Amino acid sequence: MKAAAFLYPWDVVGDPDAPARIAALGVRQVTLASAYHSTRALTPRHPRHRIVTAAHAAVLYPPGEAWEGRVPRPYAAGDWAPGDAYGEAAQALRAAGLDVHSWVVLAHNSRLGAEHPATSVVNAYGDRYPWAPCVAQPATRAYLVDLAAEAAARPETSGTELESCGWYGLAHLHAHDKIAGVGLGEAGQYLMSLCFCASCREGYAATGLDPDELAAAVRDALEPLWRGRADDTGWASVEKLLGAERATATRAWREETARTLQEAAVGAVRAAAPPGFQVLLHADPVAYHCGANVGVDPAHILTVADGVVVPCTGGAQALTPFAEHAGDGAVLAANLTVVTGMGGSPATLAADATRAADLGATELRLYHAGLASDADLARVGRGLAGLG
């Protein structure tokens, strides 16, 4: 089973030993960040630093001239990834015999929301989510589609993985998060992630919903949750809290909005990339979910992209709906966290990979080779060797 490891350019640039070290794990591919959100990352083996602070969402290569005068547009990275850090890292990794695919984060950008608040998701209370660009807004959609094409089809790159290619909502670690005091469950997360910006209000109105009445209904539906009386059974609870007709209409609007964005983004990547360029989406098989692994209709997305990357740490059941619709050649990549301190289990990698394969996985993704300790990497190497 083909395995790929996630990396940031700063894991490689300035560390001449990094490419050979990654190749020695037994992986055949690196999924390398080319457009990424703000983060603070550990670099436990780098000869020059131990902590990298990426202060804002940025492209990790020089943005093209076509962005001049456009709003929104991508931000260049600061000293954490100067110049063409992606290209330099990709070239070094390819020289070590590794295939390189780009890792493109789209609808997750706190700086964009801070500088251009009108681009953000707005909840039913009027609170903005600056980390979450609203994917219903025409200018934002155009930005995301063009960013996908540019950041995916970089030189020295054979494919891409698009993350956050759809709705983002409340569930995000935003700075020092303090939102776990009330257990919202799936229903509360959905209701708190509904957007009421001008574009979404127009979208709801087009389905026959009054946006003001809908926002009031959402606030009323959330009231029991604030009192600690959550009764969460997934979508059934959304229908119970909001009313089946309203719930169905909001879901239809949001899923169509995300679906057409995904179609446009994948199409733009294919148009910009050479023949044979692989396009995968980080995805969740529950279509109303939102976040880095965007909710999709498995049957539909596998007719659009070459496959999906599915979170499988703690269990690979999310693969099953995709496996039911996967045709010949479709990639179903099981994403396994291999950093013990981040909840991963590198010691059980071989067993976890085998279970994922039994549920339909055709490839593995290992998160994250740059963040893992030496001990974790040693366990990864043994686990991959055990797979044969």
pLDDT tens column, 281-315: 999 999 999 999 999 999 999 999 999 999 999 99
Q: Are strands 120-122 and 128-133 parallel, antiparallel or unpaired?
A: antiparallel
pLDDT tens per residue across span 315-369: 999 999 999 999 999 999 999 999 999 999 999 999 999 999 999 999 999 999 9
Q: Is the pLDDT of residue 227 over 90?
A: no
Q: Is the pLDDT of residue 232 over 80?
A: no
**Does the N-terminal peptide bond of residue 72 adopt cis geometry, omega within 30 degrees of 0?**
yes
pLDDT tens per residue across span 265-274: 999 999 999 9
Mean pLDDT on 38-48: 96
Q: Six-digit token pair at 90? A: 């990709």
How far apart CA 195 and CA 122 sit, in angstroms, is: 5
pLDDT of residue 78: 97
Confidence of residue 39 (pLDDT cuts 50, 70, 90): very high
Average of per-residue pLDDT values in the chain: 96
Considering the chain, what percentage of its residues have pLDDT values greater than 90?
93
pLDDT of residue 173: 72
pLDDT of residue 171: 83
Mean pLDDT on 106-126: 97
The separation between the first and the last C-alpha atoms of the chain, rounded to the nearest angstrom, is: 8
Q: Six-digit token pair at 107? A: 């609808």
Residues 6+ apart with CB under 8 A from 182: 188, 225, 226, 228
pLDDT of residue 256: 97
How far apart CA 130 and CA 134 sit, in angstroms, is: 10
pLDDT of residue 228: 84
pLDDT of residue 178: 76
How far apart CA 319 and CA 195 sit, in angstroms, is: 28
pLDDT of residue 179: 77
Q: Is the pLDDT of residue 229 over 90?
A: no
Question: Residue 77 has what DSSP assignment?
Answer: P
Helical H segments across the chain, by residue range: 18-24, 85-95, 110-115, 138-152, 185-193, 198-206, 211-226, 235-242, 244-272, 298-304, 319-323, 349-358, 374-387
Q: Is the pLDDT of residue 231 over 90?
A: no
pLDDT of residue 324: 97
Confidence of residue 176 (pLDDT cuts 50, 70, 90): confident
Mean pLDDT on 52-56: 96
pLDDT of residue 132: 96
Prediction pTM value: 0.96
Selecting from 3.20.20.140, 3.20.20.80, 3.20.20.70, 3.40.50.720, what CATH number does the domain 2-121+132-179+275-387 have? 3.20.20.80
The structure tokens 């983004």 sit at: 265
3-state helix, strand, coil in the chain (%, to 5): 40, 20, 40
Q: Is the pLDDT of residue 137 over 80?
A: yes
Q: Six-digit token pair at 48? A: 């020059």
pLDDT tens per residue across span 3-34: 999 999 999 999 999 999 999 999 999 999 99
